[in-house]
A and B are shown apart, each in its own frame.
Chain A
Amino acid sequence: MRDPVLTFTDRGIYCPAGDFFIDPWRPVDRALITHGHADHARSGHARYLATHAAGPVMRHRLGEIVIEGADYGETLRLGDAIVSFHPAGHIPGSAQIRVEVGGEVWVVSGDYKLLDDGLSEPFEPVRCHTFISECTFGLPVFKWTAQEVVARDLNDWWRGCVAEGRTAILGAYSLGKAQRLMRMLDAEIGPILTHGAVEGTNRVLRDQGLSLPDTVPVTPETKIKDHPGALVLAPPAALGSAWARRFGPASTGFASGWMRLRGVRRRRAADRGFVISDHADWPGLLQAITDTGAENVYVTHGYTDIFARWLNDRGWNAKVLPTEFGGDEDEAEAAA
């Protein structure tokens, strides 16, 4: 019997025919990377391959790395495997990776969402025999509200903060989520101040031609009274830290798919939770899996047991990727 197109090793997803790994978490010779988030693009690999659009951020985060770029849809031959990258809609530059060996096609989804956020290259379904899908939000309670509705809530909250003389501090992952939020914010309300982690990513994305609203980077000299009506964008960890105290009386918000659950909202102890996710919701996951036409589905990241069982009930041959493939779900949560 010939090797499967992809196998699961203790270093990550491996393609024997092409001798490469996808999003491995231990150092390997050749790593294909779906996108630049830390739980997918790790340091220490000898060679990287990712989309052209994902490259700059990876260099920004990982330093001097040997990286090749590919266009979306461009086919590359690696050993006996044919490989191509397809938009995943997760963050700018994010991709699903299609691997074909001897006519059999597998697709690794990486993280994805179907909704067009106006910033990332919109998700494209790719037909395949086997689909390896994330399922961070693989429960029927997760259903997203339209982006323009959330944008209205977000701007109403900001306006309310301005009226009460408080600084709005919004926590969001600094790559992807933060930039998406910047484009949802109404710049008429006030200036957008950014934490260094967010601004670093902004600079990289602007350099590669993405249009983002103007921002004011926060420095040790920044005085909040010089920026009346400001909204501060910062990574979640900065909320409630000493760094955040410089903004005086504030209202905190947090943007994540988890904010759909009251319990999680209360645990975050932010004043407001906005349900905005860069992952597929329940209907999105089903749509994506159906559109691939795949018979076999491996699920990873999230409520894998439950989601696999449901897919099996519905006629898919679904399995959970072995547990050690769960990756670092904490980071996934921050990014969700």
Chain B
Amino acid sequence: MKDFAQLITTIDQTTKTSLKTKALAEYFTRAPDDDKLWTIALFSGRRPKRAVNTTQLREWAAERAGLPLWLLEESYPIVGDLAETIALILPKAEGSSDRSLTHWINFLRALSQAPQEDRKPQILAAWDELDDTERFLFNKLITGGWRIGVSQKLMTRALAEATGQDEASLAHRLMGGWTPDDVSYHNLIEAEDKAADLSRPYPFYLAYQLADGPDPLGDPGDWQAEWKWDGIRGQLILRMGEHHVWSRGEELMTDRFPELARARDFLPDGTVLDGEIVAWDGTQPLPFNTLQKRIGRKTVPKKLLTEAPVILLAYDLLEADGKDLRDTPLRDRRAALKKLIDPLPADAPLRVSEAIDFADWEALAQTRATARDRRAEGLMLKRLDSPYLAGRKKGDWWKWKLDPLTIDAVMIYAQQGHGRRANLFTDFTFAVWDGDALVPFTKAYSGLTDAEFGKITAWVRKNTQQRFGPVRQVTPHHVFEIAFEGIQESPRHKSGVALRFPRMSRWRHDKPLAEANTLDDLKAILSAYG
């Protein structure tokens, strides 16, 4: 664990991606294979089965530190990470150990099989031979959630550097449902990639937002425009008579969308589609909140299947007849896609996400302005001769989203953030006027700079009227412009509306309190766009 702890410390001590990559690449060069495999697993969102639950962990840590549990609970949101909180409150370790990362992972896996009464003494003993950083990492192995400034992309690049392999093909190898239990480092990374896992998806190609409009893109004739749908990006894989549905977050969603199983009846084996899963009313997508009802469910009740049936709006063909098409230009992939899907009957759960005809950028801008009527978030622009790349790359694919909706609202409650934002007030509740009363309608916690958060924090401390636990009611004074992507009716909210992706787009220092928007303004937006 010392090597791994040293790696994490080095990564933590720099803000430069190049230095992080270098540290990780060096680790991949010198660590033993089993530690490397686990490091790859951890940084790609895999972790050992949870040996003890976090409730037990909190209780044992508080007891070991001689503190009441509530004090640990109060410290946790301020530190922002349970694994770190526990590492920090425990008394200094009596011993030390040279055991490897893999040793501790196997220790935890054995523990998950051990009788309940054995677990506590073993965890306490482990804590007592690990230093602060090792303890933090050990706790992280239990609690999960490895947000430590290393993305899968960065890890993949480091691995490419260390092994001399191509980054994109490594990214592909790392996709899918493998775990360190069913694969060795050699098979995952080094062995010839023939017996590829049949369910393995291709890395998604992700677009950047177009900052200044499409003019810099050049000749409109080189580009394809599509609606940017407000659904779930997904990859549908048909191989060897089976189908698999992957989310962009590399989550297997096959069982959540049983409708897509019928794709097997219509499409040949060896087909992989990239598209948007949307709830569908027969001619166009249903509002996102209809789809949202299905997102959290692993299995779907019949009623929901009729209320919110899904289809895949396919926009790319990545594999046909078992052949990887990603290097073929988009215009050819698109032609093949249309040939494959357009002839399908209406009851197939598949449609092509149609390309939009446009004469010039100005005409396209006008079309884009109607996106909300089509239940789309804006447009996608894709270069017609572009290959399908891996990951977020600039140049060939752009999203050109609609400008968000906005409303000017009054800040009425504030709460401290956690983690990187501990000690700063960053989570706010906003209200609009309803006569003389302020009606809360949304929370927002992003959009301001660190300097602005610092300023508002100092202000909140001096202008707290009342405290409700961690929440402070503040003097109504500051007006913020709240930007959001959508609005819908919501009986659960006092104001009767719920916003989609609300954030603070501007601190309206110029706007007096009385001139913030009203509940009627909000309802007008709801009837226009809800």
Contacts and interface: CB of A to CB of B under 8 A. Distances in A.
**Do A and B associate with each other?**
yes
26 contacts: A139-B74, A139-B78, A140-B67, A141-B75, A141-B89, A143-B88, A258-B423, A261-B80, A261-B422, A262-B84, A263-B79, A263-B80, A263-B81, A264-B423, A265-B12, A266-B420, A303-B74, A305-B467, A306-B74, A306-B75, A309-B70, A310-B71, A313-B68, A326-B461, A329-B461, A330-B454
Task: Name the residue among B79, B457, B467 with the largest chain A CB count within 10 angstroms.
Answer: B79
B15 A271 contact: yes
A323 interface: yes
Interface string B225-259: 00000000000000000000000000000000000
Contact of A139 (B75, B419, B464): B75
Contacts of B70: 309
B12 A330 contact: no
A177 to B, nearest CB: 18
A148 B181 CA distance: 45
B450 interface: yes
A137 to B, nearest CB: 11
Contacts of A267: 420-421, 424, 450
B14 A271 contact: yes
B458 interface: yes
B457 A330 contact: yes
Contacts of B12: 262, 265-266
Interface in A214-268: 258, 260-267
Given A263-B420, A271-B14, A326-B461, 8 more contacts: A140-B72, A143-B88, A265-B12, A267-B421, A267-B424, A271-B13, A323-B461, A333-B423
Contacts of A258: 423
A93 B74 CA distance: 35
A78 interface: no
Interface residues of B, number: 36
A291 B530 CA distance: 64
Interface in A267-296: 267, 269, 271-272
Q: Which 7 A-B pairs rank lowest in CB-CB distance, beginning with the nearest?
A: A141-B88, A263-B419, A263-B420, A263-B80, A267-B420, A306-B74, A140-B89
B462 interface: yes
Given A267-B450, A330-B458, A140 B65 contact: yes
B78 to A, nearest CB: 6
A157 to B, nearest CB: 9
Contact of B79 (A261, A269, A305, A333): A261
Interface of A: 139-143, 258, 260-267, 269, 271-272, 303, 305-306, 309-310, 313, 323-324, 326, 328-330, 333
A113 to B, nearest CB: 19
Nearest to A328: B458
Task: Name the residue among B14, B70, B422, B423 with the largest chain A CB count within 10 angstroms.
Answer: B423
Interface string B141-153: 0000000010000
Contact of B421 (A263, A265, A310, A333): A263
A140 B462 contact: no
A303 B78 CA distance: 10
B462 A141 contact: no
A268 to B, nearest CB: 9
A310 to B, nearest CB: 6
B119 interface: no
A323 to B, nearest CB: 5
Nearest to A140: B89
B331 interface: no
Interface in B54-93: 65, 67-68, 70-72, 74-75, 78-81, 84-85, 88-89
B280 to A, nearest CB: 42
